[in-house]
Chains A and B, each alone.
Chain A
Amino acid sequence: MLVVMAWRNIWRHKARSLVIMMSITLGLLAGIAVLALYEGMLVSRIRTVIDEETGHIQLHHPNFSDENESKFIIGDTTEIFKILRNIPEIIQINKRTLVNGMMSTPTGTAGVQVFGIDTATEFSYSSLKQKIKEGNDLTSYKRNQVIIGKKLADKMKLKIGSKLVLMFNDTTNNLVSSAFRVSSIYQSTNAPVDERLIYVSGSELSELLGLPGQIHEIGLKLNDDKAVDLVASKLKSLLPNLKVETWKEISPETEFMVKTVDSYSYIILIIIMIALAFGILNTMLMAIMERTREIGMIAALGASRIRIFFLVLLETVFLTLGGAPLGLLIGWLLSVYFNKNGLNLSGMGEDVLSSFGFKVIIYPSFPAEKLLPVLIIVVVTALLSSIIPALKAINMKPIDALKN
């Protein structure tokens, strides 16, 4: 009967109850939308980092990352490759020869990071080939060709076929320089990268450095993102002479972003819960105050304080359940829809997004298994915030309540 009473009490003020239910619905809908969008951006960013920038795991000479000097080579790779090929999670292996240098053209100079690549593996390893917007690529073999980013090309006024000079220190700290010709221009979604990174043939670069055939970096791709830490620790014991780093270590800013977005999500959730708590508190207080007489009368008749407390909590649960599941459901369906079809954020400004390394099309995602926990959090919050009204209700003295 308490359940019946609670249910009917809700509908005594249809408009008020519907308003609070709808605010719960909208609040949760908005919350889920934002969380799903965040998650989508995050997933997209992580994919970009792994697929286009770092791979899952990289191997270097232990001193290389600190000093970035070309003398810190990986050395004999035959043994290493044998070990790598024996690990089933590893599906791609890519070699690079690296050096930092200066680029100079008739219009000026710029600091660049030179990637010496083997196009046979690089094109299937990173998405460089897909990013090439103009010109051919290094595969149509001519000597001393270079692939540069659109941003750098614009800044240095370079076109396909333009000549430029690359300068860097070799292993003995002698300055070497060599002329290259722009064969292609690429454009990625990450503007800072486009301005810095250029690609040449790995074998040519290693010869210029006086290290023919040597490499500085082995990049690995795995069949599963989640296997990263496991494989990394396996490699650390198998290859004690190399530095093994996962994408999280190589790109700490991405890892930081993951954590920041996670804490933002909690903050958003907390803000929504606080709003919900005040809404419920206000509504239930109003409902209790205007029923002072009635609650006092029920107490006079012999309804225990626990029952009256329970009645208030039940009404709260009904109010919450009248709004929350709908909001969660709509929010989740929207996230599923946009997860499938993509959400085009170009309205927000393509340049802004790409300068932060984000893609324009986001695939928001909200995991279905989080719906129930969120619903439980909502109900618990609502119950907690109805404790004050409930205490007020049980402390009503029948004698005061019944006064005319």
Chain B
Amino acid sequence: MNDIVIDTHNISRVYNPTTIPVYAIKNLHLHIRRGEFTALVGPSGSGKTTLLNLIGGLDKPDEGQIVINGTDITKLSPGKLIDFRLHNIGFVFQSFNLIPVLTARENAEFIMLLQGISKNERDERIKQLFRQVDLEEQIERRPSELSGGQQQRVAVARALASKPQFILADEPTANLDSKSASNLLDIMNKLNKEENITFLFSTHDQRVIDRARRVITLVDGQIASDTEPIMTSYAH
């Protein structure tokens, strides 16, 4: 049973290779299985963002392979990589990053339109997604008419709209108050348990770390510690 969705093999990312090389990521091996709920922690500058960008196909490693669901994304052409992201990876960014001119519903629909999904399927899926993130009332609002927490839930709905292999989130709660942060975590947790959605998120927030089922600690671009994954939903 090979259920590894993310497999990084000996990856390194070096900045300023010609002057004073900075290893943002150094010889890193990482496996993430389907259904995991993993927090990426570590001091500032330890390489969390760099690692998430590499796994998300937004950046290329200087060494090593990144295999997502059987595909080595380091070998894809730029155009193929964009397409790969569209169909396989869901993104939630720190500062919300919704498209401001589109409503909550349109933001989620945008991804599905890029994928070429039919109108009926889009409508159905949007209904379901916004029920899951508990925003059915606010579906026709623009981002500017939503609170930060609501915007981040729209971002989660949008990330899920493409039915990705997993969702990457770089400090998703950093700009939220503690109540909104806890609410977002509730929803992510529920999606993980009920829909078996894989989440990989970075965070500094101890309360968020406490709710993760696997915690990977990075120091200087290397894994300093890795707790055993607690596979609740994966087990059955």
Contact = CB atoms under 8 A, between A and B. Distances in A.
Do A and B truly interact? yes
Interface of A: 1, 4-5, 8-9, 12, 293-294, 297-305, 307, 397-399, 402, 404
Given A5-B101, A8-B101, A399-B53, A305 B82 contact: yes
B129 to A, nearest CB: 15
Contacts of B99: 5, 294, 297-298
A393 B111 CA distance: 19
Contacts of A302: 82-83, 85-87, 111, 114, 162
A83 B163 CA distance: 88
A113 to B, nearest CB: 74
B42 interface: no
Contact of A297 (B86, B97, B113): B97
A307 B79 CA distance: 12
A304 B100 contact: no
Interface in B174-190: none
B106 A301 contact: no
A1 B106 contact: yes
Contacts of A304: 79, 82-83, 114
Interface stretch (B88-96, B215-223, B227-235): B88-96
Nearest to A297: B97
Contacts, number: 64
Given A5-B102, A399-B58, A399-B59, A300 B85 contact: yes
Contacts of B101: 4-5, 8-9, 12
8 contacts: A8-B101, A297-B97, A301-B85, A302-B82, A302-B86, A302-B162, A303-B82, A399-B58
A149 to B, nearest CB: 71
A372 B97 CA distance: 41
Contacts of B82: 299, 302-305
Interface of B: 53, 56, 58-59, 79, 82-83, 85-87, 91, 93-95, 97, 99-102, 106, 109-111, 113-114, 158, 162
A172 B158 CA distance: 104
A305 B158 CA distance: 20
A305 B95 CA distance: 23
A122 to B, nearest CB: 74
Q: Interface residues of A: mostly helix, strand, loop or mixed? A: helix
Contacts of A404: 94-95
Contacts of B111: 301-302
Contacts of A397: 58
A300 B56 contact: yes
B56 to A, nearest CB: 7
B58 A301 contact: no
Contacts of A293: 97
A397 B110 CA distance: 20
A284 to B, nearest CB: 16
A301 B106 CA distance: 14
A404 B110 CA distance: 24
Contacts of B114: 301-304, 307
A298 B91 CA distance: 11
The 3 closest A-B pairs by CB, nearest first: A302-B86, A8-B101, A302-B85
B86 to A, nearest CB: 3
A305 to B, nearest CB: 7
Given A303-B82, A303-B114, 16 more contacts: A1-B106, A5-B102, A8-B101, A9-B101, A12-B100, A298-B99, A300-B58, A300-B85, A300-B91, A302-B83, A302-B85, A304-B82, A397-B58, A402-B58, A402-B93, A402-B97
A307 to B, nearest CB: 7
Contacts of A9: 101
Contacts of B113: 1
B204 to A, nearest CB: 14
Nearest to A6: B101
A293 to B, nearest CB: 7
Contacts of B93: 297, 402
A311 B190 CA distance: 36
Contacts of B85: 300-302
A220 B93 CA distance: 83
Nearest to A299: B82
Contacts of A300: 56, 58, 85, 91
A294 B110 CA distance: 14
Contacts of A305: 79, 82
A1 B103 CA distance: 11
A297 B107 CA distance: 12
A299 B81 CA distance: 11
B91 A301 contact: yes
A389 B50 CA distance: 29
A394 to B, nearest CB: 10
A1 B97 CA distance: 18
Given A301-B86, A302-B83, A399-B59, A294 B100 contact: yes
B210 to A, nearest CB: 25
Nearest to B112: A1
**Interface-centre pick from A297, A299, A397 (highest chain B CB count, 10 A):** A297
